[in-house]
Structure 1
Amino acid sequence: MEISNFVIKNLANPHELERMYRKDPEAFRNSFSQAWELNPDSQVLAIWFERLNFKESTNTVKASLFQKDFLSMGILAILAGLVTRIIFQFAEQQSIAHLNIVFGILPFVAAYFVTNKFPRKSILFILAALFIISGVYLNLLPLEQKDSIILAYIHLPIFLWILVGLAFTGNEFGKGSSRLAFLKFNGEFGILYAIMAISGGVLTALTMQLFRFVGLDIAEFYFRNVVLFGAAALAIVAAYLVSRNLKLAKNIAPYIAKIFSPLVLVTLLAYLGTVIWVGKNPFMDRDFLLSFNGVLLIVLTVTIFSITESGKEERKSISDYINFALIILALIIDSVALSAIVFRLSSYGITPNRIAVLGVNILVWANLIWIMISYLRFLQNKTGLSAIQDAVTKYLPIYGLWAAFVAFTFPLFF
């Protein structure tokens, strides 16, 4: 008896058809095609036809999308490498500021997101206009090492990073889930970029050594034409891989968050204990105050990274209590720093550095209060994890606005 006849005779026996398919899928497919030709009006066979062919058509669509994404990634990576190399050439000649190198990377990362998300024309116009204005403004600043200029150099990349976030979220820039996805992307991007950069560093060291064996020192040439190009292009490649849901970064990121949070907590407690023991005073020691603010930003970054990698689980874990302790610790550090900054302003007068640091500390303090209250309610079972994530994501534009304010106004005011 032919298998095709078996399929036809068991049209009313779905269990037997399923058993036959699982036993030998390839033979079933071959016999099914014959049965389908003989019975094109059968509803049972029509369902089996969709089942057997749906996956193939989906794969075809995915393959075409993969090729399109890969092509756009390749073009943008090459352009990013070339533009970065050209910018570095002018920066070396002291024609432009070295910070212009960010324009060889961030606009192309934003362009990659735009080519895949197709945001509204208004968003495209805003992105293009702000990137162009920022580039022109940066190169209108005098090449001087004044405090206001240095502050602009520090804050402008933060503003550009917010623009990349706008490109990433596209038409959904107002949604907390999209902003959270952007923060998760940054964590996974950083992990993947670091892994690939380390691999590139090993390849660079090996290449240098191989050429030294034949009496050639190619260090300068290799850095200018390979390392710079590769570092910029790698940013686009990493963005592409993370966007393609690469399992490596997504699987590693939550574990890194869970490992680093307790380590940072223990380290900072030991550090603060040592500070008290040796009698360091942030009110009088400017350098120590700056390092104190650096510690604050590290704690904030680790906490946000841990929160974004918490997923959607509403169940509390030891990580949540560690995060809450980190937030309390950050609030203590920020409160001391704020007091020291206000003291220095009243004692030594107004400077752009003090105003900038004061503004950042106030913003961070307010954000930490919001996160702490949300976390406390979560630990008391009064709200869900989404409230904590909202406290993080909804505050992002405020950091961007402050960065823009410092970058674009301080050189004019001071």
Structure 2
Amino acid sequence: MDINNMIIKNIADHNELERLFREDPKAFKKAFSHALEQNPDSPVLAVWYERLHYKETANTEKDFLLQKDFLFMGILAILAGITTRIIFHFVELQAIAPINLAFGVLPFIAAYFVYKNPPKKSVLYCLAVLFLISGFYLNMLPLNYKDSIILAYLHLPIFLWGLVGLAFTGNEYGKGSTRLAYLKFNLNFFILYASMAISGMLLAAVTMQLFSFVGLDIEEFYFRNIVLFGAAAIAIVTAYLVSRNLKLAKNIAPYIAKIFSPLVLVTLLVYLITVIWLEKNPFLDRNFLIAFNGILLGVLVVTIFSITESGSDEKKNISDYINFALIFLALIIDSVALSAILFRLSSYGITPNRLAVLGVNILIWANLIWIMLSYMRFLQNKTGPSTIQDAVTKYLPVYGIWAAVVTFTFPIIFN
């Protein structure tokens, strides 16, 4: 029977209409217009008309917004590339510190978020002032490699990352769900940027090889003018793509979190057993203590991203127990590191490095305790997964504040 007649015959049978539609959507849509002409007063067909044509209207509006966003993103990407190249020129002249390259990317990502989700004026002014103060302050510091200056260089990107987070969250900076979305954005951003960077490196290698065949060595020119520009511009493009909910990064991120968590757990267990076997002592070995803290930060990052990708499922699974084990081991590592730092402070005195490491270890220790207690309650069915995510998201500003303290006060205190 003709599908047009089938639609008219089953006009009161909602299940049959749905079946016909799913069986061949194109044929259904084509025949539907004829059925509507014959039954213009049918409320059922009126509803189906809106359903069939809603996507076209929505997509038209979406395409317009996409185009508008795309143009603004393109402008920001070009500006980021140009700014990074200019900053690199002054870095080469040793007129400014290399860390200034962060200002060639992060403010432009923040600008895109502000454009995409305009915040109230107080948030906007706060962002603008803090970015300007950070840039001015950084370049007022002596261009040397004293410990306090290096610490400022290392902590400034963390503070700027916090400012980008403020731009991302906008007026909802106090909401845990919005902060969680920012953490997910970071993981997706890293995955997609790494993929694009690898592609860019392959293109660079092919390009330089092709020019070498005709006797031209363009390596230096290509790096200074194309690679630098591209690295900064791609960061803006990546932020745009991730914010548009690109399925590639969105679909890969949970799997990466699930794969890396058990691998990190096994690696960490083997490492700790080896350390005990070889009788390594972080109390006396400074380099080993630094490595210990590096491992701690790595485990913390993996654990946090694993928690953010675990979703809001009330059911427990193997990933939850792996995360809990990771947090427990990280807490042991941090406790040992904290003891070693206190020992070195009491034995050798206060230095900028020891004080900075002590501060971050105390912060991480407190955060791990909070996460572990939340996880224990979740595994005991006393709370839902949201309490674990709160332990992560509500603590994020603390790291930004500490980064600001080290960046803006240590060079002055330890001058």
Q: Deviations over 1:104-144 (max 9, x none)?
A: 00001111111111111111111111111101110111101
Question: Cα gap change, 1:332/1:212 in structure 2, threshold over 3 Å: closer, same or farther?
Answer: same
Check 1:205–1:48 CA distance in 2 against 1; reply closer, same or farther (3 A cut): same
Q: Secondary structure of 1:300's match?
A: helix
Shift of 1:279: 2.1
Alignment of 1:15-54 (within 5 A): 29=29, 32-33=32-33, 36=36, 41-54=41-54
Question: How far off its partner does 1:28 sit?
Answer: 5.5
Provide the C-alpha distance between the structure 1 equivalents of 2:31 and 2:90, rounded to a whole number of angstroms: 69
Deviation per residue, 1:292-340 (Å, 9 max, x gap): 1111101111111111111111111111111111111111111111111
Q: Which residue of 2 aligns with 1:61?
A: 61
- Map 1:67-146 onto structure 2 (within 5 A): 67-146=67-146
Q: CA deviation at 1:43?
A: 2.9
Q: How does 1:317-396 map to 2 (within 5 A)?
A: 317-396=317-396
Distance 1:14 1:113, change over 3 A: same
Which amino acid in the other structure matches residue 50 of structure 1? E
In the alignment, residue 384 of structure 2 is paired with which amino acid?
Answer: G
Letter aligned with residue 276 of structure 2? I
- Match of 1:212, SS? helix
Distance 2:62 2:245 in 1: 13
Q: Which residue of 2 aligns with 1:400?
A: 400
How far apart in 2 are the matches of 1:152 and 1:185?
A: 26
C-alpha separation between the residues in 2 aligned to 1:29 and 1:193?
A: 41
Report the counterpart of residue 205 of structure 1 in structure 2.
Answer: 205
The letter of the residue matching 1:164 is V
Q: Flag the 1:18–1:247 CA change in 2: closer, same or farther, 3 A.
A: closer
The CA distance in 1 between the partners of 2:392 and 2:235, in whole Å, is 25
Give, in whole Å, the separation in 2 of the partners of 1:193 and 1:16. Answer: 47
Give the Å deviation of 1:213. 1.3
Report deviation, 1:256.
1.2
Alignment CA distance shift 1:204-1:338 (3 Å): same
Q: Which residue pairs with 1:234 in the alignment?
A: 234
Displacement after TM superposition at 1:76 (Å): 0.8
Please identify, of 252-261 and 174-183, the stretch whose mean Cα deviation from structure 2 is larger.
Answer: 252-261
- 1:346 Cα deviation from its structure 2 partner: 1.0
Summarize the Cα distance change of 1:290–1:22 in structure 2 as closer, same or farther, 3 Å threshold: closer
Aligned ranges 1:151-162 → 2 under 5 Å: 151-162=151-162
| Alpha-carbon shift at residue 93 of structure 1 (Å) | 0.3
- TM-score computed with the length of structure 2 as normaliser: 0.94
Mean alpha-carbon deviation: is it higher for 3-12 or for 285-294? 3-12
Task: Please say which of residues 6-15 and 80-89 is displaced more in the overlay.
Answer: 6-15
Where does the alignment leave 5 or more consecutive residues of structure 2 unmatched? none
Kindly provide the CA deviation profile for residues 347-384 of structure 1, in whole angstroms up to 9, marking residues without a partner as x: 11111111111100000000000001011111111111
CA distance in 2, matches of 1:19, 1:181: 37
Whichever residue aligns with residue 227 of structure 2, its letter is: V
Task: Tell me the SS of whatever aligns to 1:335.
Answer: helix
Cα distance between partner residues in 2 of 1:389 and 1:260: 19
Taking the aligned partners of 2:14 and 2:328, their CA distance within structure 1 comes to 61
Moved more, 258-267 or 19-28: 19-28
Shift of residue 288, structure 1, vs aligned partner = 1.4
CA 1:2–1:85 in 2, change beyond 3 Å: closer, same or farther? same
Once structures 1 and 2 are overlaid, which stretch shifts more, 36-45 or 137-146?
Answer: 36-45
RMSD between superposed Cα atoms in Å: 2.1
Where 1:405 maps in the other structure, the secondary structure is helix
Deviates more, 1:107-116 or 1:266-275: 266-275
SS of equivalent residue, structure 1 residue 144: coil
CA distance in 1, matches of 2:261, 2:12: 59
Could you say if the C-alpha distance between residues 201 and 10 of structure 1 is closer, same or farther in structure 2, counting changes exceeding 3 Å? closer
State the one-letter code of the partner of 2:399: Y
Superposition pairs for residues 264-303 of structure 1, below 5 Å?
A: 264-303=264-303
Find the counterpart in structure 2 of residue 188 from structure 1: 188
Do residues 216 (structure 1) and 203 (structure 2) align?
no
Greater CA deviation, 115-124 or 276-285?
Answer: 276-285
For residues 179 and 14 of structure 1, do their structure 2 counterparts lie closer, same or farther at Cα, with a shift above 3 Å needed? closer
Query: Letter of the aligned partner of 1:376 in structure 2?
Result: M
- CA distance in 2 between counterparts of 1:17 and 1:316 reads 40
Q: How far 1:240 sits from its partner (Å)? A: 1.2
For 1:8 and 1:274, the matched residues in 2 are separated by 76
Inter-CA distance 16–400: structure 2 relative to 1 (3 Å threshold): closer
Note the C-alpha offset of 1:411: 0.7
SS of residue paired to 2:289:
helix
SS in 2 for 1:283: coil
Q: Distance in 2 between matches of 1:67 and 1:273?
A: 55
Over 3 Å counting, the alpha-carbon distance change for 1:46 and 1:186 in structure 2 is same
SS at match of 1:346: helix
CA separation of 1:32 and 1:199: change in aligned 2, threshold 3 A: closer
Work out the CA distance in 2 between the residues paired with 1:23 and 1:326. Answer: 49
Q: Which amino acid aligns with 2:249?
A: A
Which amino acid letter does the alignment assign opposite residue 342 of structure 2?
Answer: V
Q: 1:273 to 1:28 in 2, by over 3 A?
A: closer
Deviation at 1:37, TM superposition (A): 5.8
Amino acid at match of 2:350: I
- Cα distance 1:399–1:19, how it changes in 2: closer, same or farther (>3 A)? closer
How far off is 1:51 after superposition?
A: 2.1
In the alignment of these two chains, the number of paired residues is 414
Q: Structure 1: which 5+ residue stretches go unaligned?
A: none
Residue 44 and residue 378 in structure 1: after superposition, are their counterparts in 2 closer, same or farther (change >3 A)?
closer
Task: Please report how far the alpha carbon of residue 47 of structure 1 lies from its aligned counterpart in structure 2 after TM superposition.
Answer: 2.1
